[in-house]
Amino acid sequence: MKPISIKDIAREANVSITTVSFILNGKAEKMRISQEMITKVEKIIQDFGFRPNQVARSLRTGNTKTIGLIVEDISNPFFASIARLIENKAYKHGYKIIYSSTENNLEKAKGLIRMFRSRQVDGYIIAPMEGMEEDIKTLLADRTPVVVFDRNLLGVDVNCVLVDNKGGTYDGTDYLIRKGKKNIAFVTVDLEVEQIKDRYLGFEKALYLNGIKKNKKLYKSIPFTNTAEETTAELVEFFTANPEIDGVLFATNYLAVRGLFSFKQMKKEINDNFRVIAYDDHDIFKLHSPEISAVQQPVEAIADEVMTLMLKALNSVDSFEEMVHNKVMLLSSVIER
């Protein structure tokens, strides 16, 4: 059962969330709220069984100076870099970060939100997955600051920092086409998430606008649950079965890394006849010979925008201002190597 929120109290009393907040926080008289209204709201709070610890969480009268960070996989270089930058920026403002991974498991994601709620974190930074909509709406209804990044959730009005995934893979595919490639493969992961879908759409658009017919044989989806060895084996089979491939765009950097292992196993050379580009840069790509081109996400800018929105939201909670949610869209760039 969904926990009772300030929004529920306000709706039942037919007043604003701010009015309920003032009453709960002992500021009703100062804000000239009538005794009749105070009595009405207090009775609804009692009838609804709105517990004191929920009030404390909702109003943040006792800040813990901690922020929960929930991502898909903290070992992924992209999320690890973001987490480190966010941690540094939060520390400068007196906050500590507690982070964990969902492993793309919805039940685990919901459990992490419950765990962070029990620790009374002051805010949440989340790389969400489909199915978390109601959990995030509940947090927002309790005036809990939430910022999502890397992906959005349809139908949820929340602070959001995104990167133009379509534009990134469009530019990456266009790079391969400018190098004369026509049989371009797209290797992705089987996750039904917005940013992965958008990366394919950008790839598809680049082919279309350059007059290259889409070839379904050159599309490869790898199970997210695969081990590294299983992914390498699938890629060896894919590239062996399609020798006409002269360029490939990997939709994630970890898939590109496994691709490099498969090419080594196949003794397949990366050269002017066969080019590779990865979405998301990785140190391995600079160490590899030849170096691997990449679509680079603006990691520093993502962390900056996430913390700017989070700090603004935290200030809004403390001041009882109306929360305004912002959506920030950032651009990626192609690193040609």
Q: Which residues pair with 51 in a beta bridge?
A: none
How much is the pLDDT for 62? 54
CA separation for the pair 127, 129 (Å, rounded):
7
pLDDT along the chain (337 residues), means of 10: 75 87 72 86 83 47 82 89 94 92 92 90 93 92 91 90 96 96 96 90 97 94 94 97 97 95 95 95 91 95 96 78 85 94
Domains 6-59 and 66-162+300-330 share a fold: no
> What residues does 98 pair with on adjacent strands?
68
The residues near 11 (Cβ < 8 Å, ≥ 6 apart) are: none
- The sign of the dihedral angle between the CA atoms of 217, 221, 226, 229 is positive
Q: How far apart are CA 168 and CA 216, in angstroms?
A: 21
- The reported pLDDT for the residue numbered 246 is 96
User: Interior CA angle at 149 toward 220 and 336, to 5°?
Assistant: 55
Q: What is the pLDDT of residue 193?
A: 82
The DSSP H or E segment spanning 14 is: none
What are 68's strand-pairing partners?
98, 124
The CATH architecture to which 66-162+300-330 belongs is 3-Layer(aba) Sandwich (3.40)
Distance of CA 65 to the CA centre of its chain: 22
* CATH number of this structure's domain 165-296: 3.40.50.2300
Domain chopping of the chain, boundaries: 6-59, 66-162+300-330, 165-296
Fold of 6-59: 434 Repressor (Amino-terminal Domain) (1.10.260)
| Residue entry with tokens 């869209």 | 329
Q: How much is the pLDDT for 233?
A: 96
pTM: 0.74
How many Cα atoms within 13 Å fall on the side-chain side of residue 164? 12
The whole-number pLDDT of residue 59 equals 46
Residue 321 has what pLDDT? 62
Predicted pLDDT at 77? 85
pLDDT of residue 291: 94
